[in-house]
Amino acid sequence: MFSKEESRKLREEFWISFGKSFPRKWILYDTRLKGLSFKFHFDTKLALVALDLEDDLENRIKFWDKLQSLKVILTDDYLPDAIFEEEYYLENGKEISRIYVKLNQRVSIHNKNCWKEVMEFFIEKMTLFEAFFEDYKDFIDS
């Protein structure tokens, strides 16, 4: 087990290492679409790359319907393992809508031996997610 401070330091070390190993400006929160953002997630149980819809319900529904209509394109041409969850609950209990791809093996941010694999997963999947978004941003925002 790690203390909270040890865990915090490992998390910080991972994200600094990721940024230095793969220096790139990601879209993440800069989608220019209110309530729509990309996220990297890595904790003691899993790693995933996500497209989150976190705005008010009306805006979430609008974006969700557009993304649902693009599901076949996303899964056929970009991310075959994408998981669509209209009702996804964050650890704090907040309900969002999420499309995500997870690394299908047990990883932990506390285990430096799996960091390289997670970083490569992040790079591959987020690059594909962003390419999809750039190709269909105008449609999603219409």
pLDDT by residue for the chain (142 residues), tens digit each? 778 888 899 999 999 999 999 888 898 888 989 999 999 999 999 999 999 999 888 989 999 999 999 999 999 999 999 999 999 999 899 999 999 999 988 999 999 999 999 999 999 999 999 999 999 999 999 8
E strand segments, the chain? 36-42, 47-53, 83-89, 95-102
**Residue (of 47, 54, 132, 44) closest to 88 by Cα position:** 54
Q: In sequence order, what are the beta bridge partners of 49? A: 40, 101
- Residue 90 CB partners (closer than 8 Å, separation 6+): 96
Residue 72 and residue 79: Cα distance in Å, rounded? 10
Q: Please name the residue that has the structure tokens 């953002």.
A: 37
Q: Are the C-beta atoms of 128 and 26 separated by less than 8 Å?
A: no
Structure tokens that stand for 10 in this block: 């490992």
Residue 34 CB contacts under 8 Å (≥ 6 apart), including other chains: 55, 59
pTM confidence score = 0.91
Locate tokens 């997670």: which residue? 118
